[in-house]
Amino acid sequence: MRAAIVAKLMYAVGKNPEVASQRDWFIATTLAVRDRIVDQWMASTRATYESKRKRVYYLSLEFLIGRLLVDALMETGLTEPVRQALDDLGVDLDQLRKIEPDAALGNGGLGRLAACFMESMATLQIAAHGYGIRYDHGLFRQVIKDGWQREYPENWLTFGNPWEFERPEVDYSVGFGGTVETVEVSEEITRHYWRPEETVDAIAFDTPVPGWRARHVNTLRLWSARAPDALRLDAFNQGDHVGALAARVRLEAISKVLYPSDATPAGLELRLRQEYFFVSASMQDIIRRHKQHHGELELLPEKVAIQLNDTHPAIAIAELMRVLIDLEDFGWDEAWEITKAVFSYTNHTLLPEALESWPVPLMERLLPRHMQIIYMINARHLDLVRSKGEHDGGVLSELSLIDESHGRRVRMGNLAFIGSHKINGVSALHSDLVQRTLFYQLNRFYPGRIVNKTNGITFRRWLFEANPGLTELLVDCCGSRVMDDPAALIDFEKYAGDAGVVDRFRAIRRAKKAELAGLIRRRLDVSVSPDALFDVQIKRIHEYKRQLLNILEIVALYDAIRANPGGNWVPRVKIFAGKAAASYHQAKLIIKLANDVARLVNRDPVVRRLLKVVFLPNYNVSLAEAIIPAADLSEQISTAGMEASGTGNMKLALNGALTIGTLDGANVEIKEHVGDDNIFIFGLTTEQVEERRRKGIDMSDVIAASPLLEEVLDAVGAGVYSPGEPGRFGDLVNSVRHHDYFMVAADFDAYYAAQRAVDARWQDTAAWWRSAIINTAHMGFFSSDRAIAEYATDIWGLPAPRMG
């Protein structure tokens, strides 16, 4: 290993050890490790080819990967050899690790799920390819200035990306705009020729994705946009040098930046271009590979399963129809059967503002042939519905692919539904709501298509890599098979009352908290005690996730402590991290409030040892890996019915944090697994939220009945936390009082009471750690290996993977 690293340093980086920087060593080490993975990669590719088995294609506009060095070392079992080799060379692996930038090609849950699923598909030795976009700039970097969020561009590629392989020869042309020529070949046959107005090239960049123990290695193929050479030459030859460059820049903008659209739908042409760009390139690649290996396109459903990660790639349904009919001479019916058999679609949110729809005029201009095909799909779909006796205009318009209510728009969710054989939600509750609300009518006419696939997380990253100490303890208690079989975790439960094991568990947590305290001191210059209860809420900032509820509870607690500083309080550190969409005003105001409250609380000598509040900037995968093993309490407090699943909830519980949460998303299933006594559930249920909204969302009644909340709202509204600008939080307070769609007021007292129950449990040390151990022990179900095994058998038509 040492020789391999030095060879890379010299012959690939071009440095000798005496002058090499930490970054040079990082690149050399990565390249040496990558070689080992590539050996397995070639073997996996060959084996898949020879077995002729079915392949899975995971189409996603987001892959939120994080760092890869520690991950690759873990998967390949090379951590110790590499650490030793670097030691001999006078280099510290833990320093090198931090040089690597996060690959942040995603916004949040949806993108991180795609990354966990890629790892589990490789672990279960499923022949899978991820397809997405190689954004030059990932999710923005968040800086907190005077308590406000500021966004800065992210530049993960500045020093190159040693994990990827550029494939200049894998180059597909993607068309946009233009016209469709219709030719009547005969009485029955009409042909359509799409003549795009412009084209852009998609260049492939491949990253190998090793699974556990590197038994199998899959490929993540990301596309980068490049202007076609012809374009440059034409204009250049005509002497229009500036014009030539401007046209190039416009086309290449397609893969420049990730849409940070967690707040407002990206109603922009560039977003639609991104979607079709990566779909077209991926479909060309899939079809080319299929023809090369299996010949006939009739065999597509037998050999190919394509999973649509949300509706972002849903245009692939129209694209496959276009290819089959226009280019491959299939008849409509046969093409449609193939298409439905190949595609399946995962829904990740019910929020109406997050459901994609594209204006018909934009689609007609950018993708004229696809628009025709969508009309045809719609006509046949509505005929079928009518043939089943449905003639109600309201119902038909809800079923239609075209929304006529505010300008004509294509509903991508309906397209994804109609063109798929299976549609899934991401937790039991969410899938139920998908059936009962979003796709209520479609589900009536296509019963059995909607299924549940509760999300999961990869234990390799979120347990083995993030928490090696706990992993070692689990191996000691459950045996080494716990490293291969998540179900083996259950044996840890036996140790819930074992004093020796509890002591080790606590010491592991204590060490992680001390590390996090160091990070908090370095980044924020705030000192916190590792002996306090670390209470964390880490996720995108969104009103439905209710960071505001958490902050208002802090204010109430702060007042209570000040009123009785000698009381029997549990020392707490409240930890927040998360990004707000740049255009999401309310979310940015919530960040400001958290920071304003933090400033006041942290410098108040009265509460000094009892309460600290910190907002850690620039939340990303790497920061999550530092916070999660150090968490005692996990905040999962979304308004019931609004969080599709959550996956941070699983990561925290796996590492032994207790959850305080609502009956929302996967919290419901976490509760079923860990038992009611080991989780703190509070607040309105989904049905109660619906009922309260029907009654009205002015909360004057609720607030009048809660002196505690009244006092908190008065203080925040009066500017106690913003003395320089008393009206700063007026909007926030006003919406809680009179327009509380998210039920902050309605759930406040229940949340306060649940927090006091948390205090009581913490003070019963034995009970706390018993619950913590039970949480870890019961998380096996939430492995993404289980989730992927279910997708494989129930959706992709694969044989049951071998688990463990």
User: Which CB sits closer to ligand 26V, 471 or 662?
Assistant: 662
User: Which CB sits closer to ligand 26V, 125 or 454?
Assistant: 454
Which of the ranges 107-115, 203-211, 398-406, 506-514 carries the binding residues for ligand 26V, by CB under 6 A? Answer: 107-115
Q: What are the catalytic residues?
A: 348, 539-540, 545, 647, 651
Which of the ranges 256-264, 492-500, 510-518, 782-790 carries the binding residues for ligand 26V, by CB under 6 A? Answer: 256-264
Other CB atoms within 10 A of residue 794 CB:
15
User: Which CB sits closer to ligand 26V, 429 or 611?
Assistant: 429
At residue 426's C-alpha, the angle toward residues 136 and 481, to 5°, is 90
From the list 253, 249, 262, 209, the residue with the least C-alpha distance to 62 is: 262
Minimum CB distance to ligand 26V, residue 356 (Å): 9
Does position 571 interact with ligand 26V (CB under 6 A)? The reply is no
57 bridge partner residues? 129, 306
Does position 18 interact with ligand 26V (CB under 6 A)? The reply is no
At residue 663's C-alpha, the angle toward residues 661 and 666, to 5°, is 85
Which of the ranges 48-56, 347-355, 470-478, 624-632 carries the binding residues for ligand 26V, by CB under 6 A? Answer: 347-355
Q: Is 380 helix (H, G, I), strand (E, B) or coil?
A: helix
Closest chain position to ligand 26V (CB):
109
Does position 425 interact with ligand 26V (CB under 6 A)? The reply is no
Which of the ranges 73-81, 257-265, 407-415, 717-725 carries the binding residues for ligand 26V, by CB under 6 A? Answer: 257-265
Does position 353 interact with ligand 26V (CB under 6 A)? The reply is yes
Question: What tokens does 278 get?
Answer: 């990566």
Q: How far apart are CA 757 and CA 478, in angstroms?
A: 31
Please name the residue ranges forming H helices in 566-722: 585-602, 621-627, 648-654, 667-674, 686-695, 700-704, 707-718
Helices 79-88/22-51 angle, 10° precision = 150
User: Which CB sits closer to ligand 26V, 110 or 423?
Assistant: 110
Minimum CB distance to ligand 26V, residue 263 (Å): 6
Does position 668 interact with ligand 26V (CB under 6 A)? The reply is no
Minimum CB distance to ligand 26V, residue 365 (Å): 24
Q: How far apart are CA 155 and CA 138, in angstroms?
A: 7
Does position 263 interact with ligand 26V (CB under 6 A)? The reply is yes
381-420 binders of ligand 26V (CB under 6 A): none
Q: How far apart are CA 184 and CA 187, in angstroms?
A: 7
From the list 792, 651, 781, the residue with the least C-alpha distance to 121 is: 792
Which of the ranges 142-150, 241-249, 260-268, 507-515 carries the binding residues for ligand 26V, by CB under 6 A? Answer: 260-268
Does position 307 interact with ligand 26V (CB under 6 A)? The reply is no
747-776 binders of ligand 26V (CB under 6 A): none
110-149 binders of ligand 26V (CB under 6 A): 110, 113
Q: How far apart are CA 50 and CA 712, in angstroms?
A: 67
Q: Is 538 helix (H, G, I), strand (E, B) or coil?
A: strand
C-beta separation of 373 from 322 below 8 A: yes
Minimum CB distance to ligand 26V, residue 140 (Å): 16
Q: How far apart are CA 142 and CA 151, in angstroms?
A: 5
Minimum CB distance to ligand 26V, residue 649 (Å): 8
- In the chain, the amino acid numbered 303 is K
Q: Which of 262, 285, 543, 740 binds ligand 26V (CB under 6 A)?
A: 262
User: Which CB sits closer to ligand 26V, 300 or 538?
Assistant: 538
Minimum CB distance to ligand 26V, residue 794 (Å): 17
User: Which CB sits closer to ligand 26V, 312 or 572?
Assistant: 312
Chain CA centroid to CA 525, Å: 30
Cβ within 8 Å of residue 160, ≥6 positions away: 27
User: Which CB sits closer to ligand 26V, 349 or 378?
Assistant: 349
User: Which CB sits closer to ligand 26V, 308 or 478?
Assistant: 308
HSE of 715, CA atoms in CB hemisphere, 13 A = 21
Sheet of 55-59: strand order equals 165-176, 198-210, 217-226, 128-133, 55-59, 304-309, 343-346, 422-425, 450-452
User: Which CB sits closer to ligand 26V, 108 or 656?
Assistant: 108
Minimum CB distance to ligand 26V, residue 114 (Å): 9
Minimum CB distance to ligand 26V, residue 645 (Å): 4
635-654 binders of ligand 26V (CB under 6 A): 643-647
Which of the ranges 3-11, 108-116, 556-564, 650-658 carries the binding residues for ligand 26V, by CB under 6 A? Answer: 108-116
Q: Which of 66, 665, 683, 801 binds ligand 26V (CB under 6 A)?
A: 665
Minimum CB distance to ligand 26V, residue 248 (Å): 31
Minimum CB distance to ligand 26V, residue 349 (Å): 4
Cβ within 8 Å of residue 399, ≥6 positions away: 381, 382, 385, 390, 414, 441, 442, 445
Cβ within 8 Å of residue 69, ≥6 positions away: 26, 29, 30, 33, 96, 97, 100
426-485 binders of ligand 26V (CB under 6 A): 426, 455
User: Which CB sits closer to ligand 26V, 578 or 665?
Assistant: 665
423 bridge partner residues? 345, 450
Q: How far apart are CA 58 and CA 117, in angstroms?
A: 9
Q: Mask 265-304, x = binds ligand 26V (CB under 6 A)?
A: x---------------------------------------
Which of the ranges 105-113, 151-159, 241-249, 728-736 carries the binding residues for ligand 26V, by CB under 6 A? Answer: 105-113
Residue 131, φ and ψ in degrees, nearest 5: -125, 135
Does position 351 interact with ligand 26V (CB under 6 A)? The reply is yes
Q: Which of 66, 108, 210, 211 binds ligand 26V (CB under 6 A)?
A: 108
Q: Which of 303, 348, 369, 546 binds ligand 26V (CB under 6 A)?
A: 348
C-beta separation of 120 from 788 below 8 A: yes
User: Which CB sits closer to ligand 26V, 109 or 486?
Assistant: 109
Number of residues that bind ligand 26V (CB under 6 A): 23
Does position 547 interact with ligand 26V (CB under 6 A)? The reply is no
Which of the ranges 131-139, 349-357, 508-516, 674-682 carries the binding residues for ligand 26V, by CB under 6 A? Answer: 349-357
C-beta separation of 284 from 264 below 8 A: no
Does position 784 interact with ligand 26V (CB under 6 A)? The reply is no
Which of the ranges 30-38, 350-358, 519-527, 724-732 carries the binding residues for ligand 26V, by CB under 6 A? Answer: 350-358
User: Which CB sits closer to ligand 26V, 64 or 557?
Assistant: 64
Chain CA centroid to CA 246, Å: 34
From the list 57, 554, 54, 614, the residue with the least C-alpha distance to 286 is: 57
310-329 binders of ligand 26V (CB under 6 A): 310
Q: Which of 66, 101, 109, 801 binds ligand 26V (CB under 6 A)?
A: 109
Please tell me what DSSP assigns to residue 387: H
Other CB atoms within 10 A of residue 16 CB:
11
Residue 114, φ and ψ in degrees, nearest 5: -60, -40
User: Which CB sits closer to ligand 26V, 34 or 540?
Assistant: 540
Does position 617 interact with ligand 26V (CB under 6 A)? The reply is no
C-beta separation of 60 from 115 below 8 A: no
3-state secondary structure string, 103-124? EEECCCHHHHHHHHHHHHHHHC
Q: Is 391 helix (H, G, I), strand (E, B) or coil?
A: coil
Question: Site residues (CB under 6 A) for ligand 26V?
Answer: 108-110, 113, 261-265, 310, 348-349, 351, 353-354, 426, 455, 643-647, 665
